[in-house]
Amino acid sequence: MASGFQFSEQASAKQLMDVIDQASFALDDVLLFLDTHPCDPSALSYYQYVKDLRKYAVDSYASQYGPLTKDQTAPGNYWSWVTEKWPWEGGYQ
């Protein structure tokens, strides 16, 4: 299966969100396929690849631009996501 997901270490917030969105979609898609083909080795390999890519992209986004989920907040920091622009305000462009 082809891998079209790539980003650099200096990716913009928009680029990282695009990778996260695409990897999330691919992850949902391959999970549906695995429901009917649970032993397919290429699907299992692709699942692991997309899962790892999404985790890396989410972690990269959180370290550079702030948390995407409540479990990514750093202890001792103030509740930073209320001070950032929301996505509909152009927050990750």
pLDDT tens sequence across 30-62: 999 999 999 999 999 999 999 999 999 999 998
- 48: domain range? 11-67
0.85 exceeded by pTM: no
Contact 41, 82 (CB under 8 A): no
Query: How far is Cα 54 from Cα 30, in angstroms, rounded to an integer?
Result: 13
Quick check: is 82 in a domain? no
Residue 39 placed within a domain = yes
In this structure, is residue 6 part of a structural domain?
no
At 4-31, the pLDDT tens digits run 666 676 789 889 999 999 999 999 999 9
- What three-state secondary structure class fits 79? coil
In Å, what is the CA distance from 31 to each residue of 7, 38, 58, 60, 65?
23, 9, 19, 24, 29
Domain count for the chain, please give it: 1
**Cβ(61)–Cβ(17) under 8 Å?**
yes
